Amino acid sequence: MRLKYVLNEVLVGLWRNVTMTVAMIITMSVSLFMLGASVLLYMQVDQMKNYYYGAIEVSIFLRTDVTDAQRSAIDQAISSNPLVSDKTYETRAEAFTRFQQLWADSPDFVKSVGPDSLPESFRVKLKDPEKYKAFADQIAGMPGIQDVIDQRTLLDKVFNIFNGLQVGSLGVAGFMAIAALLLVGNTIQVAAYSKRREVAVMKLVGASNWFIQAPFVLEAVVAGVIGSVIGFIVLFVGKIVLLDHKLQALTTILTPVHNGNVWLMLPLLAGVGGVVSAVTAWVTLRFYLKV
């Protein structure tokens, strides 16, 4: 009986004030969508770091006028260095072939580069990619070396962009969340006002506080959960449309976004939406109902 009563009150409450309910659900869904996108980006960057840092190499480009003696000295130094786990050597011809494959889509660009314009190089894998600095310091001063480049620094630039996007969407999520919370508070106040007679009688006859508050709190929770489901659907559709179709080319650079991770957002968003709405409603009631 009591459950039925509470559920009925919730539905009536949401319907009585339907424009406010819709506004509450929309802001909630946008906010939670941004939160979901932010969390997904964070997971994505994490996953990409694991993936790329494992395959990362330090490139040691040699000068064009390097002598055979210098080359073998460098080779020797790399092989005997305890930080190194693996090493390959790439001749100019090999570098040029790889270059041609890489830019096969732009034949004009390939034509403008001669087979001798690319330097020969050693590709070195470190046991611990974090130790790049120590390795570079030991090797960089040797004669015949043009440049030592850590792919990590290149990747970090990409990751910085992702991090920026992530922080940005988190910021938007927070901003929208403020609007959503104010709407929840306002909706609850309106609901409490329209039921002030019932509330007064309930207090008079000694209805317990939770019984008076539960319909209001649940009203907010239902709106929050509906908002989170909509936010989740937008997130999922956005992932399919953007990453799986429109920007598919990018996914060769980005590691694939697993659907499993996207599904994980549903309980997360629903949880955050529900709990935040409930707390807001409860705090509002404490000020407004004074039970």
Partner 1 sequence: MIQLENVTKTYPKASRPSLDDVSVGIEKGEFVFFIGPSGSGKSTIIKLLLHEVAPTRGKVVVNTKDVTTLRSWKVPHFRRSIGCVFQDFRLLPNRTAYENVAFALEVIGKTKAVARRVVPEVLELVGLGGKEHRYPHELSGGEQQRVAVARAFVNRPLILLADEPTGNLDPDTSIEIMRLLDRINRTGTTVVMVTHDSNIVNQMRRRVIEIESGRIVRDQARGVYG
Instruction: Give me the residues that bind partner 1 (CB under 8 A), please.
Output: 1-2, 5, 197-198, 200-209, 211-212, 291
Residue 63 or 203 having the CB closest to partner 1:
203
Give CA separation, 247 vs 63, 203, 243, 250, 256, in Å.
39, 59, 5, 6, 12
Residue 72: HSE in the Cβ half-sphere, 13 Å Cα cutoff: 2
Residue 282 burial (CB count, 10 A): 14
**Do 13 and 191 meet the contact criterion of CB atoms below 8 Å apart?**
yes
Instruction: Give 5 or 103: the residue with its C-beta nearer to partner 1.
Output: 5
The amino acid present at 42, given as its one-letter code, is: Y
Range list of H helices, the chain: 2-16, 18-54, 68-80, 92-102, 107-111, 132-140, 151-194, 196-205, 209-238, 259-288
Question: Of the candidates 122, 14, 110, 11, which has an alpha carbon nearest to the alpha carbon of residue 58?
Answer: 122
Q: Which residues of 38-70 are buried (b: 16+ CB within 10 A; e: fewer)?
A: bbbbbbbbebbbeebeeebbbebbbeeebeeeb
Which of residues 200 and 237 has its CB atom nearest to partner 1 in the complex? 200
Of 2 and 157, which has the nearer Cβ to partner 1? 2
Name the minimum Å distance from CB 10 to partner 1: 15
- Between 148 and 218, CB nearer to partner 1: 218
Tell me the closest approach of the beta carbon of residue 193 to partner 1, in angstroms.
15
Least spacing, CB of residue 272 vs partner 1, in Å:
28
Q: How far is the CB of 48 from partner 1 (least distance, A)?
A: 51
Closest contact distance (angstroms) between CB of 200 and partner 1 is 7
| Min CB(204)–partner 1 separation in Å | 6
Nearest CA to 41 among 193, 150, 169, 202? Answer: 169
Nearer to partner 1, 26 or 207 (CB): 207
